[in-house]
């Protein structure tokens, strides 16, 4: 018998995942990074917000490029990993993406990676991101993947935890972004490719890669308020 599946919301689940999050093979993050790095060309003069930062993956990338970075997340345990000793020097603030504690125009770019699917009223998050930054980058699990039964989950101990997520269509997200004053710059939707095969193999599930090829796995949007 397999492990029992326990459904949790993000606020309950991420504290349980924090200790092993960075060690788990995650092909979705690998695909997103391959697509996003050419779009996120941070400069030393950039003020960057990594909203829904988790353990600070994009915050660290921005720091490597010399940017001034603030990481936010509602999960304190994840943020502790982002700012643990030996990590890059960055500021962290525990906050929800729908209520950001920053002045209007505080950042040059705001990144929200795999965060919108945990937000019921996605317009609240988009409005806040548009308020605090001149450019906004968003990525998440593609809605088509969700319709094929993909989920956001992790295993720890004797159980598998499956996250409760909110399904937002891309047309709704695009429409809501426009209503928040965001002008589209880039729009990407992509399935897994050859570079992600090794991530599935490292997780011991090459069969899943073969079944997933051809299904859009990740979407990315970048917008500007200018």
Task: Give the span between the Cα atoms of 111 and 33, in whole angstroms.
Answer: 12
How far CA 197 is from CA of 9, 36, 75, 157, 219, in Å, comes to: 29, 18, 30, 26, 19
Task: Give the span between the Cα atoms of 36 and 107, in whole angstroms.
Answer: 19
The per-residue b/e assignment along 161-170, b for 16 or more CB within 10 angstroms, e otherwise, is bebebeebeb
Bridge partner residues of 68 (DSSP): 47
pLDDT of residue 1 exceeding 90: no
Q: What's the pLDDT score for residue 25?
A: 87
> What band does 24 get if pLDDT is binned at 50, 70 and 90?
confident
Number of residues that make up the chain: 226
Q: Residue 57 is part of a domain; what is its CATH number?
A: 3.40.50.150
**What is the gyration radius of the CA atoms in the chain, in angstroms?**
17
Secondary structure in 3-state letters for the chain: CCCCEEEECHHHHHHHHCCCHHHCCCHHHHHHHHHHCCCCCCCCCCEEEEECCCCCHHHHHHHHCCCEEEEEECCHHHHHHHCCCCCCCCEEEECECCECCCCCCCEEEEEEECCHHHCCCHHHHHHHHHHHEEEEEEEEECHHHHHCCCCCEEEECCEEEEECCCCCCHHHHHHHHHHCCCEEEEEEEECCCHHHHHHHHHCCCHHHHHHHCCCCCEEEEEEECC
Number of domains in the chain: 1
CA neighbor of 11 nearest in space, from 103, 87, 150, 118: 118
The overall pTM is greater than 0.85:
yes
pLDDT digits (tens, 9 = 90+) for 162-216: 999 999 999 999 999 999 999 999 999 999 999 999 999 988 888 999 999 999 9
Task: Give the span between the Cα atoms of 14 and 18, in whole angstroms.
Answer: 6
- 224 φ, ψ (degrees, to nearest 5): -130, 150
Judge whether 212 and 203 are in contact, CB under 8 Å.
no
Task: Give the span between the Cα atoms of 124 and 166, in whole angstroms.
Answer: 14
pLDDT digits (tens, 9 = 90+) for 93-125: 999 999 999 999 999 999 999 999 999 999 999
Q: What's the pLDDT score for residue 86?
A: 60
> Domain range holding 215?
5-224
């Amino acid at each position: 018998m397999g492990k029992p599946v326990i459904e949790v919301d993000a606020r309950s689940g991420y504290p349980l995942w924090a200790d092993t999050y960075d060690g788990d093979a995650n092909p979705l993050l690998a695909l997103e990074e391959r697509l996003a790095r050419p779009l996120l060309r941070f400069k030393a003069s950039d003020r960057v917000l990594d909203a829904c930062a988790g353990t600070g993956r994009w915050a660290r990338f921005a720091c490597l490029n010399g940017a001034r970075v603030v990481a936010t997340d509602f999960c304190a345990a994840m943020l502790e990993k982002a700012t643990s000793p030996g990590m890059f020097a960055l500021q962290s603030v525990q906050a929800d993406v729908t209520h950001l504690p920053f002045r209007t125009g505080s950042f040059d770019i705001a990144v929200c990676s795999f965060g919108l699917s945990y937000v019921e009223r996605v317009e609240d998050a988009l409005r806040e991101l548009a308020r605090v930054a001149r450019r906004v980058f968003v990525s998440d699990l593609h809605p088509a993947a969700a319709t094929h039964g993909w989920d956001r989950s992790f295993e720890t101990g004797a159980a598998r935890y499956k996250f409760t997520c909110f399904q937002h269509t891309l047309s709704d997200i695009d429409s809501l972004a426009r209503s928040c004053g965001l002008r589209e710059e880039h729009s990407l939707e992509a399935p897994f490719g050859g570079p992600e095969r090794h991530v599935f193999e490292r997780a011991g599930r090459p069969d899943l890669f073969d079944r997933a090829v051809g299904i859009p796995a990740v979407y990315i949007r970048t917008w500007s308020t200018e």
